[in-house]
Structure 1
Amino acid sequence: VLYEQIGDEFEKQGYFLVDADENILEEQKGVIRSNCIDCLDRTNVTQNYMAQKSLNLQLQRIGVFDSTECVSNFEDDYTKFKRIWAEQGDEISLQYAGTYALKGDLVRYGKQTVSGAIKDGMSALSRYYLNNFQDGVRQDALDLISGRYTVGTNSPSQIQPIGSQPSFLPVASALLIGGVTVTSFTIHQAGRNTQQYLASALWAGVTAGVVAMIKANGRHLCSRPRLCHLI
């Protein structure tokens, strides 16, 4: 459906082509920009499809394929193409998000698989952790390298020594997990006597208090960039 909407414009943009004598036969007149608001994963699936279309046009132009053939007709070559594209998507994703790209099985196999769905779920959980508790320093590095943050000789350093500020995340996490576990256990045993009811209420209160503390102090628990303010 997407290609039907942009196919004519896509083909008009063309590609760069030279002959054996280095004469320019055709120049590329534009690019396709595809991006989504929250991730690079579905974008990679779309770009893979557009790259396949472009490859078919180029190979037909130079006579490798006739007008009815495409790379998907040649299983070995098509498998290599999909693997290369999926692997480059993984490499970009590792730099950008810290995990392999999601939807990689759509690029490799053309469909969502059970193992792929499980892998995507694990990657999503890993991204949540990395985004909240690890990526602050990475963003600082990008801001510094890209020039978004400029070091001033007369301005105080925005970077504090590692370990100068205590992290309450491990303690909060342990209390939360412990509270949920004990609350669940005591609720299961609550029908036996009044003491179990009181224990359930106590641990439920502790768990609720920890949740409230995490919610109120989330900005301090997370790893936030220190050089430039978040937009």
Structure 2
Amino acid sequence: MCFLYNKPVTFSLNRCLSFQTAELKLKDLCAKLTLISRRCTRRLGTRMWRRGANFEGDTANFIETEQLLETEDFSFSFLQVRGSIPLLWEQIVDLSYKPHLRVISHEQTPNIVERHFHDLSQRFGEILAVDLTDKHGEEGQLSAAYAAEMQNQQNVRYVPFDFHFHCGNSNYDSMKILYDQISEDFEKQRYFMIDRKGDILEEQKGIIRVNCIDSLDRTNVTQCYMAQKALNHQLQRIGVLTCSECISMFGEENGKFRILWAEQGDEISLEYAGTNALKGDLVRYGKKTLAGLIKDGISAVSRYYLNNFHDGIRQDALDLISGHYTVRRNAPSPFQRNNFEPLSKNVTLQYLPVASALIIGSLTATSFTLHQAGRNTQQYVSSVICAGITAGIMAIVKANGRQFCSRPRLCGLL
């Protein structure tokens, strides 16, 4: 166990995920700004194969991020946490871009939520739970289930904020709407502060827990905004900034601050989703750019490929190295299976290249026959046949989409 400014860290449960640092020069002050993110290993996994919570109340992608500010005379710490919505829910990949999201009804759900927030309150004090999920569609159903459970939680304030509704047009300034809702609690929670002698001048009395559907992209933007507010309070506390000044007025130093948060967001996303974070431009510049949109598009396609065809194997590797799966000498290997054993009816994983080739071939044939149909009306029949074959193959693949995807075999979802 070692101690950072705000709290003790037990490395058996928390692993350092990201470490970023920068030198700031504000007026006559030279300061060091450090960002440390630590991932809880109790529900370690990949984006689609580790969602929600387990029966002990541990949630997927649970990360505590500590922002440290060090000057010659004072040191500060501000801590935030993120994590998946602490319910039983799943989103199994099936080749669709956005797989079906299902909330699992279980009699233990109230106990799971209670265990999760009891653990947080024991470690951090008062909890402010900010939920950034959409309020419509399947995501809205999950958010509604979360809100219903939060009504029974004592000493936890639940704040829903539809990020896409308020900030959907890349309007970073709309984060002020959220801050206005939670500013009183935010300022009461304070931050940790010590002087050069080691005397504690201030303690952080609570924590903000932020989540979106993945606790990645929208969460990064929100936590960066809150960290900026905390940094302003700290610099005003020691007289570097006046009450009317903020870090955003200092372009170069504010840029360094934003880069720290953008880079740590990328590192968190790489481990969980396999790509850099989306909405990185909102963190770096406070607005969208054309280059950022292109980068987000590439990352979205990459996530689709990795989630469907790679993450099952990666999940097995994480379960093995983290000790969640124990190898037994006399037990048969879960990877030993007959290559011809059907996964679902007559569809096997080995058929995916064949199915892909047939779809591409059928589409090519359909395009060719349609082009020829302008010269020979009899080619229309061939076009219809080719189009029918293509539609049939695509329907079979879609109906058995889950069986074509990479799935973990060592541990269950919970």
Instruction: Note if 1:177 corresponds to 2:360.
Output: yes
Task: Name the SS for the 2:275 alignment partner.
Answer: coil
TM-score, normalisation: structure 2: 0.52
Q: Which has the higher strand share?
A: 2
Partner Cα separation in structure 1 for residue 339 and residue 276 of structure 2: 32
The CA deviation string for residues 185-211 of structure 1, in whole angstroms up to 9 with x for no partner, is 322332432431122122112212321
Partner Cα separation in structure 2 for residue 49 and residue 229 of structure 1: 36
Q: What does residue range 46-195 of structure 1 map to in structure 2 within 5 Å?
A: 46-160=222-336, 167-195=350-378
Of structures 1 and 2, the one with the larger relative CO (CA 8 A, separation 6+) is 2
Instruction: Note if 1:36 corresponds to 2:212.
Output: yes
Partner Cα separation in structure 2 for residue 57 and residue 178 of structure 1: 62
The CA deviation string for residues 88-120 of structure 1, in whole angstroms up to 9 with x for no partner, is 111111111111110001111111112211211
Q: CA deviation at 1:30?
A: 1.4
Partner Cα separation in structure 2 for residue 134 and residue 168 of structure 1: 16
Pairwise CA RMSD: 2.1
Instruction: Note if 1:18 corresponds to 2:184.
Output: no
TM-score, normalisation: structure 1: 0.91
Counterpart residue identity of residue 88, structure 1: Q
The CA deviation string for residues 14-39 of structure 1, in whole angstroms up to 9 with x for no partner, is 11111111101111111111110245
Partner Cα separation in structure 2 for residue 47 and residue 40 of structure 1: 10
Partner Cα separation in structure 2 for residue 58 and residue 43 of structure 1: 22
Identity %: 68
For residue 391 of structure 2, what is the aligned residue in structure 1? 208
Partner Cα separation in structure 1 for residue 245 and residue 358 of structure 2: 62
Counterpart residue identity of residue 71, structure 1: I
* Structure 2 unmatched runs, 5+: 1-176, 341-348
Partner Cα separation in structure 2 for residue 18 and residue 119 of structure 1: 41
- Seen in structure 2, the aligned counterparts of structure 1 residues 200 and 39 have a Cα distance that, compared at 3 Å, is farther
Partner Cα separation in structure 2 for residue 221 and residue 213 of structure 1: 11
Task: Name the SS for the 1:101 alignment partner.
Answer: coil
Partner Cα separation in structure 1 for residue 260 and residue 310 of structure 2: 29
Match of 1:7 among 183, 188, 198: 183
The size of the alignment, in residue pairs, is: 230
Counterpart residue identity of residue 373, structure 2: A
Q: CA deviation at 1:48?
A: 0.6
Counterpart residue identity of residue 179, structure 1: S
